[in-house]
Structure 1
Amino acid sequence: MQQIAKLAAIFFVASVIPAFAADVPAKTPSSIAAPVASWTGFYAGLNAGYGWSDATSSNVAVDPASALLFAVVLPPGSFDTRFAQEGAMAGGQAGVNWQLSDRFVAGIEADIQWSDIHGSDIRSAATAIPNLQFTSNTTRNLEWFGTVRARLGFLATPDLLLYGTGGLAYGQTNTSASIGLTPPPGINVATGFSDPSGNFTFACSNAPGSPPNCYSGSSRQTSVGWSAGLGGEWRFADRWTAKLEWLHIDLPGNSVTLVSPSPPSSPGVMTKYNFVHQGYDFVRVGLNYQFSGGAVAKH
């Protein structure tokens, strides 16, 4: 009888354990936390692209003799300029992101850029005096620039960030200009006159041994303005992202003063090109590496 009881107990345990085990959920690989990329953290990278702009300036006489030249001898506005600038740019950026939620990312980014956004303008103006013609030559180049900007983005997918950006911009522009005599080949021409007060005398010649230009000057200036743009950034590997961005920077106007050599002109004979605000547009691609943050477990 005891043997029958033992066999019944063993049968009961053997039948209950599998049933109990069937009710306990198995821990399969699918229930383990999957890594999800986080945009929070510091990053740095490189970029390259292309930029363009329009340069506009007005010519303003500084002394009475120059005022007489540009108002009476030459047609008014003869050497006001407007010309296109374009060229390549490249540089680096660094910043920090904060992922605010599953959909929004905020950040701050700073960049510094080498650029060769340049252009030139050549204008000629004839006078009523036979063979007396003046030609101006103006060149302008944005040599470098940088920005410090805030970024606010929307995650279209966990790995694709669409963002807007804006903030501070600064940059250095190099401008040079000259105005000279351009009579027909083989003809030497000289011109000169004084203002009614007699305190200033403009004089210029294209004869051998004379100064090469009636006026010349250059200026390298750094300006501070603002920037704004739009972009997209794609996480294509752990800690690595690629971006495409349009950026606009707007810098205040500046000027370059052209001096007439003395002699033959009297000291202080000069004119000035005043450039209006400088608006530049850039399209660039970039590559970033995220130093902190990265993949986190999502339960």
Structure 2
Amino acid sequence: MKRFLVGAAAVAGLSAAALGSGSAQAADLGYGYGRGAPYTVNQPLNAYSWAGPYLGGTLGYQWGTVGNSATKPSGLVGGVTAGYNWQNGSPWVLGIEGDINLSGANDTFAPWKFSNPWFGTLRGRVGYAFNNILFYGTGGLALGGLRAETFGLSESHTAVGWTLGVGTEFGLAQNWTAKIEYLYVDLDSNNFVITGAKNDYRSGMIRAGINFHF
């Protein structure tokens, strides 16, 4: 009888151990392959996205020269900007951007005064992003006004041209970015009656901006 009780206790102990081991394995399988499996993605969840439309404003300083004139118009410049970026899971960012600006750039030499009261650009952008920091180059079409004044007479022309520039944009939050940018704008010459010459305007500018991304 004693041997029977000892044998039964041994069998019960082995059964309990086997059941405990099986339960642990089932729990492991449930965590690894069932509803408790950890969530993984191919890209970091905190990667900054530059894709989509945006709207913003800029403020800066412009300086330049007028062809066939000693004047060098300079002054504050500011405007509004709109654009769109494409980014397909890579650091490369492609975009298109347009802006319209009012300019206080003007200068007087002898009886002549020249000013660039406004200009606008339509540009492509190519950039490389380090998460929330974007370095880019930009270039495209430019359109602007050039105004000449002398002895109470004035004459204005609208000129087309081109623009090139570089900049850096910083992601402040998922919807807000700030940038600093250099642009060179070359507006073609027009025949001015009051100067008796062809006058153009070539300018550079440094400007800062802020954008809201939708």
- What TM-score does the superposition give when structure 2 sets the normalisation length? 0.84
* 8 Å contact from structure 2 (residues 146, 200) kept in 1: no
Cross-structure match for 1:278 = 201
Write the distance in 2 (CA, Å) between the matches of 1:111 and 1:227: 12
1:114 equivalent in alignment to 2:106: no
Cross-structure match for 1:232 = 168
Write the distance in 2 (CA, Å) between the matches of 1:22 and 1:101: 34
1:154 equivalent in alignment to 2:145: no
Cross-structure match for 1:289 = 212
Residue by residue, what CA displacement relative to the aligned partner does 1:25-57 show, whole Å, maximum 9, x if unpaired?
A: 57568x576232221101111110000001232
SS of structure 2 residue aligned to 1:36: coil
Alignment of 1:183-222 (within 5 A): 217-222=153-158
1:139 equivalent among 113, 134, 140: 113
Greater Rg over alpha carbons, structure: 1
Write the distance in 1 (CA, Å) between the matches of 2:21 and 2:139: 71
2:136 equivalent among 138, 151, 163: 163
* 8 Å contact from structure 1 (residues 219, 255) kept in 2: no
What is the one-letter code of the residue matched to 2:155?
A: S
By how many angstroms is 1:6 displaced?
4.6
Cross-structure match for 1:72 = none
For these two proteins, the number of residue pairs brought into alignment is 202
Write the distance in 2 (CA, Å) between the matches of 1:11 and 1:103: 55
Cross-structure match for 2:18 = 12
- Residue ranges of structure 1 left out of the alignment (5+ in a row): 58-80, 123-136, 179-215, 259-271, 292-299
SS of structure 1 residue aligned to 2:15: helix
By how many angstroms is 1:119 displaced?
0.4
* 8 Å contact from structure 1 (residues 100, 106) kept in 2: no
1:243 equivalent among 156, 179, 182: 179
What is the one-letter code of the residue matched to 2:159?
A: S
By how many angstroms is 1:226 displaced?
0.9
* Higher RCO, 1 vs 2 (CA within 8 Å, ≥6 residues apart): 1
Write the distance in 2 (CA, Å) between the matches of 1:167 and 1:56: 22
Residue by residue, what CA displacement relative to the aligned partner does 1:37-81 show, whole Å, maximum 9, x if unpaired?
A: 221101111110000001232xxxxxxxxxxxxxxxxxxxxxxx3
Cross-structure match for 2:188 = 252
- Residue ranges of structure 2 left out of the alignment (5+ in a row): none
By how many angstroms is 1:253 displaced?
1.3
SS of structure 2 residue aligned to 1:12: helix
Residue by residue, what CA displacement relative to the aligned partner does 1:230-263 show, whole Å, maximum 9, x if unpaired?
A: 11111121121111100011111124334xxxxx
* 8 Å contact from structure 1 (residues 55, 275) kept in 2: no
Write the distance in 2 (CA, Å) between the matches of 1:224 and 1:153: 26
Write the distance in 2 (CA, Å) between the matches of 1:276 and 1:218: 14
By how many angstroms is 1:277 displaced?
2.7
Percent pairwise identity: 31
By how many angstroms is 1:217 displaced?
2.8
